[in-house]
Chain A
């Protein structure tokens, strides 16, 4: 069990960063997924897209050096790196829907055995809108879910999502502070667990059935 929220987020971001390969075009969702940018392994150069119209997005500017004409999809001022490009929203979503984005990392409220993702609405409670999440989950070549394993102790990896879906059957990989789980045709395959947990604990905190192979590894974080 890893109870420290900040540590949990760090573990998730660090582990996902290792999934990214040199030269990939990557879109990080708002919130926890954004942290992945802090842990890109040395020698790996990925290009970050921001769906409001950037490829080649850089880090936050130093205070006082903001360019008011450049924001990310979360509305924060950002920098761009050499080689960056700006474009309009239709083009940006052509990149996303057209399969030109190699990886998207998205947060989730729920994810299930069929790779369904729910992350945009809690009817009657929270209705922010889907923004670009449905297009990203539908169009990116690889969808990685970044989320804490449970919410207030309740499992978020379910047999079947109960909340309205963001996309059907599009999730490839689920990374939590406790486990790395691959979505396969046969179901959810437990690939790795954190050193501070056990297979039994992961199972007890997961509603979905997990396929447990003989060679479950420890997460390298």
Chain B
């Protein structure tokens, strides 16, 4: 089973209207070359699940600016004024989710859970329309799982089986997203032979990864 592919080979996977999860935190750990591919393909009406909408010229922000996004499920849009502008014009739907809740909803889907109970958001706008459940005298919100058609993640070192090692803070949402989508594509800063990453250093097991592409390095990834 060959997982290392070219960007050309990935093209048939993407369709208008898909739900995509994209790793990264303010573009740190975001697969920029896969973003390039989406822009080249001009796939439209995407629902994007991601921590934030980054900056207009980086990461997920570029998808927003390119007009490919119909809806975004995210914790923060403040660093990308274009998201706010399109939201006010009714051109993009924004579902704001507390960051920890977003992470747990993704994790819940990937872990086969029917949802999670969190105290975050109780007594705020976030609780509107949600079921409240009391456990041991404390109120929690039932937050439902979030899955996607495709997860686009980024690894610093990836072996040919798809085992991933993340440097520094680039890990963020990437490992949980690898569990929560039907198809998982990892963009690797560096691709190595199987065995070069010690099993105990693997942060995302290769069994979750369907395709590997070679990305750029460092900030220009």
Contact = CB atoms under 8 A, between A and B. Distances in A.
B47 interface: no
Interface in B77-131: 77-79, 84, 87, 94, 96, 98-104, 106-107, 118-126
Interface stretch (B5-13, B169-177, B205-213): B169-177
How many of chain A's residues touch chain B, expressed as a range? 35 or more
B100 A129 contact: no
B123 A51 contact: no
Contacts of A70: 168-169
B75 interface: yes
B25 interface: yes
B218 interface: yes
A103 B47 CA distance: 36
A39 to B, nearest CB: 25
Contacts of A133: 98
B172 A88 contact: yes
Interface of A: 50-54, 67-71, 73, 75, 86-90, 92-93, 96-97, 116, 121, 127-135, 138-139, 164-169
B73 to A, nearest CB: 11
B28 to A, nearest CB: 5
B76 A67 contact: no
B193 interface: no
Contacts of A96: 100
A71 B171 CA distance: 11
Nearest to A53: B169
Nearest to A67: B168
A132 B84 contact: no
Contacts of A129: 52, 74-78, 96
Contact of A131 (B99, B168, B172): B99
B25 A52 contact: yes
B176 A88 contact: yes
Contact of A93 (B76, B99, B124, B171): B99
B124 A128 contact: no
